[in-house]
Amino acid sequence: MKSITRKPIDAPAWTLGRGLPQAGRYASSRLSEDELHDGSLILVNKAHPVATCTLRLEDVTNGMLQAAGREEPRIRLDAECLAQLSALLDACEGGDRIAVVSGYRSKQTQRDIYADKLRERGRAYTESYVALPGASEHQTGLAVDVGLAGRGLDYIAPSFPEDEGPSAAFRRLAPEYGFVQRYQESKTEITGIACEPWHYRYVGRPHAAIMTRENLCLEEYTSYLKQYAFGKAHLLFTDGVRTYEIYYVAALPGGTDVPVPGAGESAGWELSGNNRDGYVVAAVYDKEPIRHVR
């Protein structure tokens, strides 16, 4: 799989539209049924638990502040998520104020945390802020909890004010580095989780920018992309420098041949299952869209 070179997005230049397939030709990438449950765009919630997600974990080091607790003395994250988190902390100049509180958790760790919080805080609190074992994004390594250091950070609900200095800058720049605030107050009825200003999910670029621009949570974005089936109208996102072509391919029993831009057609492409019913391809071109539709 090719990877897309990361470059910060200039938010005022964002444009979103629809276009016909942008590549002159497409090749085929054969994916197994297991790969439906892998990638940066997998939807994880009660209805769509973690399945066969491939873990690519690295320790949180490189001078990042950590607020490790007894529940998670060794904090780890997906390698790409960790690299982009490091870049985001540099960009928002928050490396000396923002601490990493939680990253990857095993299913057993999540089970222990859930049971502990039931005893300590009761059912209402636990069901609002702690995902069920198997239904936690933390089991993918793609979710990170952050908090402002020096505030006696709570492991489950660390302090991360929405409008204060480094945390405000972190929130504003997060989409440029592939992160979204996963649980927002306006989306609680959809996600089933209360507002968590500290919980960020890595979905990659350009998806984080689109979700932010269109005010979509991951449940909504997963459904939204299905209207852009391959070969019809594709979703086009331009950041002022590059054009991203995004389309959906439904999963088939026994494996799926997913069309991807052929050699020499694009600067790169990324592919992810959605842990639900299909795959999403995001290709990037160093040019303006060449085929538009209304």
Distance CA 58, CA 79 (A): 6
| Closest C-alpha among 181, 184, 185 to residue 200 | 181
Which residue of the set 72, 137, 196, 270 is catalytic?
Answer: 196
Q: How far apart are CA 42 and CA 57, in angstroms?
A: 16
Strand partners, 229: 248
* Known catalytic membership, residue 120: no
- The candidate with the shortest Cα–Cα distance to 18, out of 244, 250, 219, 251, is 244
Please list, in sequence order, all residues whose beta carbon lies within 8 angstroms of the beta carbon of residue 182, skipping any fewer than 6 positions away.
Answer: 137, 143, 191, 193, 196, 199, 200, 201, 217, 218
Q: Is residue 54 a contact partner of residue 38, using CB atoms and an 8 Å limit? A: yes
Alpha carbons within 13 angstroms on the beta-carbon side of residue 285 total 22
**Catalytic site residues?**
196
